[in-house]
């Protein structure tokens, strides 16, 4: 789907020729509106470009999906990286820098290689080349390319391409959420006992992190909820909330590139995204609840416990979770 605001821009520019006859206040308001239209057009161009490169990246992922992978470990035996992760990220970042040379990029594999996460007011692309790398390695069919775009540290649009499913999720701030062009709507469920909740165990494997994550699942099941599910990719998990197929998602320990795109997709579908402590959502905090309603989000916040995690925008060598974070390692 291509968004075209050209006709709108032309109309506004034509009207601007009549500014001479307007009062100073009307002139200011009209000029501001024209500026907003041009800014929106720039973001629309970015969105269309983002969708295009997400599809190109998906083709690379699908080509490699059934092939033998060269797998390396990062922070734990459950934190994997493949040559395809690295290649896809290079393709995406190279394309973005060629098209928008003044934009910034935050990519999972670039951070793993030592780059520091710095989210500024500048236009910034936040990229996860393959969300669900363990799934990708094992050919479990939930892997996604995730791309978010921020300006002034606020996400303007998000794109999640579920590669094997051939599902394109995307959302624009103030413009709604879509799946393959069709509008998305969260379930609106307010009764936690009638919810399907999605979560992940994640890559953390120390005792504190594992015991916290498993006890959170136990507490949710005892509320009760209808069920707890895990697909192995935070981006697709959260998109299930946007579709209404799941009513909530929560997790501790994921990274900004896992949830930046899907968080705005949930919000634009009518859902709610908050921190696990009930405060406002902060993508750098590594904690999130996405839900069908404020009632469900707040109920989950009352139940789940978080283990310590250093923020994404701190020193990458010290972005650890669990007991290591408690001990300041």
Q: Which residues sit in the known binding site for Mg(2+)?
A: 108, 128, 130-131, 258
Dist CA 261 CA 297 (whole Å): 19
Q: Is 131 an active-site residue?
A: yes
Q: Is 314 a catalytic residue?
A: no
Place of tokens 């896809």: 88
Distance in angstroms (rounded) separating the CA atoms of residues 281 and 43: 23
Check 89, 131, 237, 312 and give the catalytic one.
Answer: 131
CB atoms within 10 A of CB 56: 15
- CA-closest candidate to residue 269, choices 251, 295, 245, 301: 245
Catalytic residue of the set 85, 109, 128, 200: 128
Q: Which residues pair with 167 in a beta bridge?
A: 162
Q: Which of 51, 130, 147, 265 is catalytic?
A: 130
- Location of structure tokens 């390319």: 145
SS3 242: helix
169 strand-pairing partners: 160, 179
Q: How far apart, in whole angstroms, are the C-alpha atoms of residue 187 and residue 196?
A: 11
Residues 6+ apart with CB under 8 A from 328: none
Cα separation, 227 vs 126, in Å, equals 31
Q: Which of 109, 200, 204, 258 is catalytic?
A: 258
Clarify whether 2 is annotated catalytic. Answer: no
Q: How many CB atoms lie within 10 A of CB 107?
A: 24
DSSP state of 313: T
| Residue of 108, 204, 237, 247 with catalytic role | 108
How many CB atoms are closer than 10 A to CB 20?
Answer: 7
Q: Which one of 44, 84, 133, 150 is the catalytic residue?
A: 133
The question of whether 89 is a catalytic residue gets the answer no
The secondary structure element, H or E, covering residue 172 is strand 167-172
Q: Is residue 200 annotated as a catalytic residue, yes or no?
A: no
**Catalytic residue flag (residue 282):** no
Kindly state the helix (H) or strand (E) to which residue 212 belongs, with its residue range: helix 207-221
Residues forming the active site: 108, 128, 130-131, 133, 258
């Amino acid at each position: 789907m291509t968004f075209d605001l050209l006709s709108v821009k032309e109309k506004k520019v034509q009207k601007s020729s009549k500014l001479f006859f307007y009062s100073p206040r009307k002139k200011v308001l009209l000029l501001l509106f024209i500026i907003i239209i041009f800014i929106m057009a720039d973001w629309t161009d970015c969105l269309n470009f983002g969708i295009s490169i997400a599809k190109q990246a998906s083709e690379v992922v699908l080509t490699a999906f059934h092939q033998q992978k060269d797998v390396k470990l990062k922070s734990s035996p459950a934190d994997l990286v493949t040559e395809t992760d690295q290649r896809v990220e290079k393709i995406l970042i190279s394309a973005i820098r060629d098209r928008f040379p003044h934009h910034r990029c935050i990519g999972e594999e670039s951070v793993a290689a030592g780059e520091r996460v710095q989210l500024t007011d500048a236009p910034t692309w936040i990229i996860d080349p393959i969300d669900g790398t363990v799934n990708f390695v094992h050919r479990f069919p939930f892997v996604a390319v995730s791309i978010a775009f921020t300006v002034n540290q606020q996400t303007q649009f998000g794109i999640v391409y579920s590669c094997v499913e051939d599902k394109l999720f995307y959302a624009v701030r103030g413009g709604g959420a879509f799946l393959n062009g069709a509008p998305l709507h969260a379930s609106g469920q307010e009764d936690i006992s009638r919810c399907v909740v999605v979560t992940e165990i994640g890559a953390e494997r120390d005792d504190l992190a594992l015991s916290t994550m498993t006890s959170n699942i136990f507490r949710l099941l005892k509320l009760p909820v209808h069920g707890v599910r895990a697909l192995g990719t935070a981006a697709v998990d959260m998109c299930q909330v946007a579709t209404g197929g799941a009513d909530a998602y929560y997790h501790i320990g994921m990274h900004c590139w896992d949830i930046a795109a899907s968080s705005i997709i949930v919000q634009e579908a009518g859902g709610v995204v908050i921190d696990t402590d009930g405060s406002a959502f902060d993508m750098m905090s590594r904690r999130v609840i996405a839900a069908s309603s404020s009632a469900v989000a707040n109920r989950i916040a009352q139940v789940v416990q978080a283990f310590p995690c250093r923020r994404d925008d701190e020193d990458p060598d010290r972005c650890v979770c669990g007991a290591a974070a408690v001990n300041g390692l």
